[in-house]
Each structure stands twice: as structure tokens, then as C-alpha cells.
Amino acid sequence: MNFKSKEEAAEFLGISPGSLLKLVQKKKIACYRFPTLTSPPKFTEKDLVAFITLYRVESRRRNPNLKGVA
């Protein structure tokens, strides 16, 4: 299993390392801590992609019949 550091994971997600740690604290994204629970968090690309997929927002398609309405 290939692990990413918090800096690498944050860059992968396009967020700051601090924002990533907040997501970890809120249990919104999975991480691994080894050899002890106080070790820095490590992330797998699979978990990062799962997070992106879970919080994906569909784009709205414009209805051509609704001219002038945003």
C-alpha cells in the first residue's frame, strides 16, 4: 500500500494541510496513523478518491427554455 503524507494528500485534493486535518478531525476522510496513534496521519489515494467522489456536486444544466433566468 502506497501512503501519502498530509502535505501530499492536501495537494492531491487541492486544499491546505490545515483544512485536511480539520476533515480528519471531523471524520470526513479516512487516514492511517502508525506505528502509534500520535504519529502523523497518512492517506491512501483510494481513500482520497473516495472522499472526492462522496462530496462530488453535479453541475446544473441550463434549460434553454428559461432565457434570462440564472
* pLDDT tens, position by position, 21-53: 999 999 999 999 999 999 999 999 999 999 999
pLDDT at residue 57 in the model:
82
Q: Which CATH class is domain 3-54?
A: mainly alpha
64 compared with 8, residue with greater pLDDT: 8
Tell me the whole-structure pTM to 2 decimals: 0.76
Instruction: Tell me how far apart the alpha carbons of residues 37 and 35 are, in angstroms, rounded to a whole number.
Output: 7
Selection from 54, 51, 57 nearest residue 12 by Cα? 51
CA distance 12 to 19: 13
Residue with cell 495537494: 11
